[in-house]
Amino acid sequence: MHDDRTLIEARLKRVLDERIRPAVYPESIPLDVAVWTAPGEPVPVAEGLAATPEPTAVGAAWGAPWATSWFRVIGTVPKEWAGKTVEAILDLGFDENMPGFQCEGLVYRPDGTPVKGLNPRNQWVRIAAPATGGEDVHLHIEGASNPVILDYHPFLPTQLGDKETAGSEPQYKLARMDLAVFDETVWQLVIDLEVLGELMQELPEDSGRRYAVVRAIGRALDAVDLQDVNGSAPAARAELEAVLASPAEPSAHRISAVGHAHIDSAWLWPLRETVRKVARTTSNMTALLEDEPDFVFAMSQAQQWAWVKEHRPEVWTKVKKAVADGRFVPAGGMWVESDTNMPGSEAMARQFVHGKRFFLDEFGVENDEAWLPDTFGFAAGLPQIIKAAGSKWLLTQKISWSQTNRFPHHTFNWEGIDGTRIFTHFPPVDTYNCSMKGSEIAHAAKNFKDKGVARHSLAPTGWGDGGGGTTREMIAKAGRLSNLEGSATVEWETPAAFFEKAEAEYPNAPVWVGELYLELHRATLTSQAGTKQGNRRSEHLLREAELWAATAAVRSPEFSYPYEELDRIWKTVLLHQFHDILPGSSIAWVHREARATYAAVADELNGIIDAAQRALAGEEGGTGTLVFNSTPHTREGVPAGGARPATVDGQSAIASRADGGYVLDNGLLRVEIDAHGLIVSAYDIVADRETVAPGLAANLPQIHADFPNMWDAWDVDEFYRNTVTDLTEADAVEPGESEPGKDGASVRVVRSFGDSRLTQVLSLAPGSTRIDIDTEVDWHETEKFLKLAFPLDIHAERYASETQFGHFYRATHTNTSWEAAKFEACNHRFVHMEEPGWGVALVTDSTYGHDVTRTVRATGDAGTTTTVRVSLLRAPRFPDPETDQGVHRFRHALVPGAGIGDAVREGYRINLPERRITGGTEVAPLVTVDNDAVVVTAVKLADDGSGDVVVRFHESRGGRAKATLTAGFPVGSVAVTDLLERPLADAAEPERAGDGVALTLRPFELVTLRLTRA
């Protein structure tokens, strides 16, 4: 037989596009349309329904950027349509190639009942099935004219990303507002042909199955009367029955489809628009669940559920019913799908605390899985946090985007820094917006790395980002793929059902140790410095507020612990850790609001801290100055978590340097700053050891051109290193002024470059082994990358970066492509490197991105120079064309002679400045720990309002630790709990010694204790 496959494939495309798909709606009449545009921000539903609209028509322009237009559509079903299925086709001007990234709508009945969302791939509303004829149609559409930010030519700078700069030009034209007859037989024929046509493309060219499908499609197309598609559709479908009924091979790959609509909590739209995106999608999904008995839909991010409950109670009622039926599944157990690289230890824990508690309180649902398909890599400390929250599985997808190395597994055990292993799945379908296309299903089966030992994978199925979620077309395709020869099988299942099967079939899954580094989107560790700084400071203010409020509540009966305020603030901070807010990859509007939110959070938390400290200090009658120490280590004689007058030994001196510049000396550290304001020596006097590499200078600002190939705010490409300018010229190098109330010597350095200005104060305090570096940058560059370099005279093949509840080692060399790909990485408060017996730490109060390189000196001693560079600022132009423009302030400190314990201590110190209060009562700590290796990360009252004291701590140095935790109050009982403060059934009884608890911790082990007050 002649090979006519390509002829039939081309015929199928044209007949589908030009004849069969148009015949799905063979008859239609226009609806009458009127519109009212809200004058500002979105209005309540009742107000939109009650407004008086003006007549409009198809073809009319509508929708200024970010505006809301309320459309009213009315009509009557013709009598001659009796017995037929009738739908409204409501096209607001959609581009079908952009589901989730343009205008959207939510349809209401006149009484305010939501019907369903409108999206580019979901424009229909069922009116009657069957119709009797004469039915009145009266619907309202809340239309959101969200502008297209990520267009066909992506990454172009645009002012559309903020309502303050977006203008008022209409963005869309009404395309279709009709009543139409829906021919389900033709629609089913479309699905039949799409499924088989897509399958055909994936089958081997020489396979008998491919030829059988080709011939069946050819016969079906022969049976279609192009002048009467509707009348001939049954005959065409009959020609396809046999090939659709042929069952899958017993060895076929098995796909668990989970209905999904990955909605970024903010990204190319503001937070307020996400509230409406979620309402539209959940309306769609609850309606679809009623029509499709096998369908299961899962939604993560407790914050999004909370928005529906708060802002759309009419939608919430439907959602609650669907959850009760077991088919609308709360997933993930986190407050949002957060970034996991940058959130601090407690914040990462609280993502699970608040997320899981919401689902437990609202639905009685306990999540066993973490659900993070789109997060930009995963910190090595995350596995034990997942386990400590009572979960055991993780789903992710984004590591399929890595540019250099292909991850070797799709199902595996992920081992964190403390040895905890979490069963993890990385769907081989390589998308979290699966649409059930044959190419996607075939790719999942072919791509699956664990063939031969496992056969299950998961496919998150549905249009995300407000694209409406799963569609009836996807469900129809999945039905045909449930048992189809030549394809993987597809079954709708909950995430838990999938994980149970996958774990059972793969008990000895391979192990991946350490971080899941995404070889892409590395610049998200630096973009939008103000947002990152707001996050870091909020985390530490929350630590202080809980610590001092708990101490005051226990010690001062008149002080009331602010449960509700802290709960609300935590949720606000957690929301802003979403993986497009904290990483700096959202539009200008999002970051403008984030900066304002962080400022309000700081004001409120400082108020709580001040009130608690004044209650503890006994201010009335007191004249002394108490120093409150919020760090987990004793500081200048003040115990951790306590307050008393501070004691500082020694003094610092400043002297002129012979070759220009200055020398700072406090007897422990001698720092030479040259005439250019660079550190040319940082001499550890006690160890008799130089820190700065010979012939080089530290605290060196460097600037690079920064124009990645794509994803401007997200990416920095390795070629950025090819050009660099050292900012060595100084406008001024002069003695600095000490901070009020502080002793020490300092040097002030001012530099001008481009259109920007950099001012630094380098300080050496008495008794200190660190040089503090306060940096202010008035930044007005474009597409530039600013770093601060520290070339160190140290030979280290690896270095430590702080992560959640510990630290993680990375190589300083590039032996393999895996190591070379980590040319920009994340740290929390410190990076640390050492030779045996001597090390150096660089600590930071608000930056995350850094790089570490090593060279061998060609002259002199031929020693090794290890250079640490902290990333300060970028200036991408998409999606926010004004990213980081303006004034920024950073604090860093270089700590020569530091062990890993010193790095931990100094990292806390720079992030938790001392607070001074006038008072007469010294404050004893609420809890103390007698081993500095054991770091307390939280002291608070239990969330249930019982008054119990909750203490969370971990071993911080990577070794074993024995310690005694002693309470500064009478203790009744002690329980080891999970992160949600629930006693662990399998935990050993804590060893008691009065009001103390004896502890033995494994490396990086995380423990939560709940202490009842006697």
User: What is the structure's pLDDT at 567?
Assistant: 98
DSSP 797-858: SEEEEEETTEEEEEESS-SSHHHHT-SSEE-SSEEEEEETTEEEEEEESS--EEEEEEEE-S
Which residue in this structure is represented by tokens 């226009």?
Answer: 30
User: What is the structure's pLDDT at 624?
Assistant: 84
| pLDDT-based confidence at residue 622 (cuts at 50, 70, 90) | low
pLDDT in tens, 397-455: 999 999 999 999 999 999 999 999 999 999 999 999 999 999 999 999 999 999 999 99
- Residue 756: pLDDT above 90? yes
Mean pLDDT of 124-136: 97
Which has the closest alpha carbon to 702: 669, 728, 725, 730?
Answer: 725
- Residue 1: pLDDT above 60? no
Strand order through the sheet with 653-656:
653-656, 662-665, 669-673, 679-684, 689-690
User: What is the structure's pLDDT at 738?
Assistant: 64
User: What is the structure's pLDDT at 995?
Assistant: 81
User: What is the structure's pLDDT at 578?
Assistant: 98
Mean pLDDT of 962-966: 97
Strands (E), 532-676: 624-628, 643-644, 653-656, 662-665, 669-673
| pLDDT-based confidence at residue 861 (cuts at 50, 70, 90) | confident
User: Can you tell me the distance from the alpha carbon of 903 to that of 906, in angstroms, rounded to the nearest whole number?
Assistant: 5
Contact 674, 697 (CB under 8 A): yes
Instruction: Give backbone dihedrals phi and psi of 321, rounded to 5 degrees, phi first.
Output: -65, -40
pLDDT in tens, 445-498: 999 999 999 999 999 999 999 999 999 999 999 999 999 999 999 999 999 999
User: What is the structure's pLDDT at 476?
Assistant: 98
Instruction: Give backbone dihedrals phi and psi of 434, rounded to 5 degrees, phi first.
Output: -60, 135
pTM, two decimals, is 0.97
Residues involved in catalysis: 374
- CA distances to 96, 687, 799 from 809, in Å: 46, 25, 5
Q: What is the mean pLDDT of the chain?
A: 96
CB-count burial class (<10 Å; 0-12, 13-18, 19+) for 780: middle
Contact 178, 95 (CB under 8 A): no
pLDDT in tens, 186-204: 999 999 999 999 999 999 9
User: What is the structure's pLDDT at 619?
Assistant: 65
* DSSP element (H, E) containing 376: none
User: What is the structure's pLDDT at 4?
Assistant: 79
- Residue 740: pLDDT above 70? no
Give the rounded distance of the alpha carbon of 453 from its chain centre: 32
User: What is the structure's pLDDT at 739?
Assistant: 59
- Residue 839: pLDDT above 60? yes
